[in-house]
Structure formats: C-alpha cells, structure tokens
Copies of this chain bind each other. A is one copy, B any other.
C-alpha cells in the first residue's frame, strides 16, 4: 500500500496556494515545494532561482521575484531585512527573531517565545507597532552547523 504522502508531494503547497487565492501554476508549485517541503528556510531570490534551475525547474528570475512577493503578501513568507545588499525571505512566519552570520550571510531563527524585551518606550502618538525585529549579528564561523 503506497503512502499518501508519496502520491501527493505537492498537496501541502497546493492547499496553501488555494487558500491564498493564488493559482497553482507549475512555477508556483515548484517554488512552493522547494520552499516549504523541509524545515524552515531563509532564501534570497537569486539563491532560490539557482536552486530551481539545479532542480530542473525552468522558471525566470522575474517570476521568482514575483512569487516571493506574492507569497509574502499571502503571509506564506516574510521578509527579513538584515543586509542592505539583498533581501531574504523566511519560510518561518511565526513570531521569532534572527542570528545573522555576517561572514556567510546566513540566518538562524531564534524562537520568539524564548526571549523577552522589556522597557520599550511607547510608540509615538499616531503610530502602531507593526513588528519588533531583533537581529543578533555574529562574527566568525560556527563549528559544524548549517
């Protein structure tokens, strides 16, 4: 008896796209699968594009950009601003923060429940806090870790 998961490798992504009101095109399914099958990931547009090529998925860089932005609007991804040179997209959309390895340009999640920030001043009148980002910038190379 075959497992259901093997029969429907795209199912998770398909459902996510449907729920987001995005047509499940070949490109979006393939990119969605690369992004969501497996653990949490941090990607740049260029990196995802190369990964798609390597996986034999033909998709233009423009579409990678479009898709990443659409996924972000649909809250399937979120943008992480850590480096003014490039934009990172994070598949973990829950409350969390980041370690940023400045040498390699890679990111690691810090669970949002684990840390607490106290003493934050009130937001100015007329404004609302959209989000609080904590970025721990690291120097050096981690031993035996991704």
Contact = CB atoms under 8 A, between A and B. Distances in A.
Interface stretch (A5-13, A56-64, A67-75, A80-88): A80-88
Nearest to A135: B133
A21 interface: no
Interface stretch (A22-30, A32-40, A120-128): A120-128
A139 interface: yes
A95 to B, nearest CB: 13
A114 interface: yes
Contact of A130 (B81, B119, B138): B138
Interface of A: 79, 81-84, 86-87, 99, 101-102, 108, 110, 114-121, 123-143, 145
